[in-house]
A and B are shown apart, each in its own frame.
Chain A
Amino acid sequence: MNVKLIVDVSRSLLLARWKQTLVAAIGVTFGITMFITLLSFMSGLNDMLDGLILNRTPHIRLYNEIQASEQQPVDLYPAYKKHHNFVRSIKPKDELLQIHNSAPIIDALKKDSRVFGVAPKITAQVFYNVGSIDLTGVINGIDVEEENRLFFFSTYVTSGNYIDLKNTPNSIVLGKGAAEKMMAAIGDIIQVTTSKGERFQLKVVGYFQSGISEIDKVQSYANLNTAQKLLGESTGYITDIQVKLNDILQAPNMAKEYHDKFNIEAIDIQTANSQFETGSSVRTLISYAVGVTLLIVAGFGIYNILNMMIYEKMDSIAILKATGFSGSDVNKIFITIALSIGIFGGALGLLFGFGLSALIDQIPFNTASLPTVKTYPINYNPRFYMIGGIFSLVTTYMAGYFPSRKASKIDPVVIIRGK
């Protein structure tokens, strides 16, 4: 068919009612703008909240757990094989928290092509001594550089320089909450008592703020060596191996694989943090629902305007049909009108959506629990723009479909004779 002619006629009909057209297009623009902004903002927030946990959480964590011995001596005795045994004399062994052969395991992990990085860790239970009071605490012994590369350690050290932790012997980065309780300034010496009763003096080189205040009241960070000294262990002592993968989705399978291979507990991030995924997907669902609703409302606007246009243009449609335009031509003309409203309004909407997101991105957003965030988070995912664009076309097409069909079915005889 003669596309140019149809476009030409559509354009003339559009321009003849440009005010109505503009209102319809603004409806679409508004819908798409809000859709893009909402999704970008919501998804930015999601990413931030997820990052709060997920960035700092290893994809796979290898550790030993204190567990009861699976087989008690009585089970091994042949005479009682078929009996129900309840004598449990063997208690969990000491030092089970240590990962045996940690060095070869780390080497093997580093050679695995699926692994992005490996960071060892020691968890040590301590008491922070504040005058005559002891506060319970946890000191994490870390490999400072690897921890920073894999888990962005430096972003959570709000005061002081994180690398001092490596360079200064017997140093500590205190949790913000703990530091406040202890009234410890950077450069001060604090005293901790280990679980074995030994006292240590550590120099505060920085504050750590995770965004979760309960953690900040308890947790502190020290060098691997310092932590080993605190526990009175040798340099091979490690309680956790944190693994970051190239593809997070492989974590569950690989955790199982490592569990079998190294005979060690392995937990993947999906299992450990399933609640975050649920939260994110529900929030995303809500923002999509709101965005789609806005677009559907805009679609009804287009439907109304096209319907009115068809009533107004009844004569024109009749004469077009009388002079040889078929029903499908008329249909195409009105679909073209609807789609051009959609394309024009949609494109503007995408643009405004981007602008509004960029604006929100500039609004200051300071909260004590999120030290790394200075402005509202925005996710500029091109996928939202694609979905918005496609959806604007689909809604306008749907909105144009019924009025167009009505127009194509107009009987010219009825109109022309009615005059």
Chain B
Amino acid sequence: MSDIILEAKKITKYFHDPLTVQVLKEISFSINRSEFVSVIGKSGCGKSTLLYILSTMDTDYEGELFIDGMAMRNRKEAELAKVRNEKIGFVFQFHYLLNEFSVLKNVMLPGLKLGKYSEKEVEHRAMEKLKILGIDNEALKNPNQLSGGQKQRVAIARALINDPLIIMGDEPTGNLDKKNSEIVFNIFQELASEYHQSLLIVTHDNEFAAKTKRIIEMEDGNIIRM
């Protein structure tokens, strides 16, 4: 049981605007340590909504969510922020790098926020993560000087900085061309196999999903395959 890092129990979610629609219908599943899971489904099936609930950013749902054995319901905003900082790494469709900071600093920010290591150590760790992703040469550049694929890799490095329990991705290859998609996927694959990193990636790219270990398929707010 201790291998379960994320568990969802009967998660139900409604959208109220403009009409009350049930987007998620009592979704229950769990993810084990070092599992590489993809969530697929058609547009509007609720897969992204589910991801944001699992990521603790969306708190307006019914049901129970456990991350690392801790219940996430009824926690304060600051506590949830801490959970996200410590245990979850994010990669979004868009890279969301801060142009005010260098690439290195972008990667360091969540680490500095965590405050577990000194600034020097965080910097060292950030460089290591960039090296794993093969972009350590770009560390001192500004994000807007990088290509789309490089930016996404920086975003992955940022997700990795605090050695999270799980990396969550919302269409991380959605904005990338074939070649860069492949690179990103290979990075995820490598993280899963070599570093035993757990990953939960939402995608509508079936080719991408087919290569992952486990696929959760959703339709109309239900899980139809897991």
Contacts and interface: CB of A to CB of B under 8 A. Distances in A.
Interface of A: 2, 4-5, 8-9, 12-13, 15-16, 315-316, 318-329, 411-413, 416-417, 419
B77 A324 contact: no
A2 B101 CA distance: 18
Given A4-B119, A5-B109, A13-B100, 4 more contacts: A2-B112, A2-B115, A322-B55, A324-B110
B52 A417 contact: yes
Contact of B78 (A4, A12, A316, A327): A327
Contacts of A328: 78
A318 B55 CA distance: 14
Contacts of B101: 12
Interface in B59-103: 77-78, 81-82, 84-86, 90, 92-94, 96-101
A193 B96 CA distance: 98
B57 interface: yes
A67 B156 CA distance: 100
Contacts of B93: 419
A105 B8 CA distance: 98
B205 to A, nearest CB: 17
Contacts of A15: 100
B217 to A, nearest CB: 21
A2 to B, nearest CB: 5
A316 to B, nearest CB: 5
Interface residues of B, number: 33
B99 A324 contact: no
A322 B84 contact: yes
Contact of B100 (A16, A321, A413): A16
A324 B77 CA distance: 10
Interface of B: 48, 52, 55, 57-58, 77-78, 81-82, 84-86, 90, 92-94, 96-101, 105, 109-110, 112-115, 119, 158, 162, 170
Contacts of A320: 98, 109
B100 to A, nearest CB: 4
B114 A324 contact: yes
B81 A326 contact: yes
Contacts of B105: 12
Contact of A316 (B57, B98, B113, B170): B98
Given A316-B100, A319-B96, A325 B58 contact: no
Given A315-B96, A324-B84, A326-B81, A412 B57 contact: yes
Contacts of B115: 2, 5
A326 B82 contact: yes
25 contacts: A2-B113, A4-B119, A5-B113, A5-B115, A12-B101, A13-B100, A16-B99, A16-B100, A319-B96, A319-B97, A319-B98, A322-B96, A324-B81, A324-B85, A324-B110, A324-B162, A325-B81, A325-B85, A325-B113, A326-B77, A326-B82, A412-B57, A416-B92, A419-B92, A419-B94
Contacts of B162: 324
A315 B94 CA distance: 10
Given A16-B99, A413-B58, A323 B52 contact: no
Contacts of A8: 112
Contacts of B48: 417
A5 B109 CA distance: 8
CB-based closest 8 A-B pairs: A324-B85, A326-B81, A319-B96, A326-B78, A12-B100, A16-B100, A323-B110, A5-B112
A330 to B, nearest CB: 10
A329 B81 CA distance: 10
Q: Which of A2, A325, A413 has the most CB of B within 10 A?
A: A413
Contacts of A316: 96, 98, 100
Contacts of A419: 92-94
Nearest to B97: A319
A324 B99 CA distance: 19
Contacts of A325: 81, 85, 113
Contacts of B86: 324
Q: Which of A318, A325, A327 has the most CB of B within 10 A?
A: A325
Nearest to A409: B77
A194 to B, nearest CB: 88
Contacts of A329: 81, 113
Nearest to B53: A413
A417 B46 CA distance: 12
Contacts of A321: 57, 81
A395 B161 CA distance: 39
Nearest to A11: B100
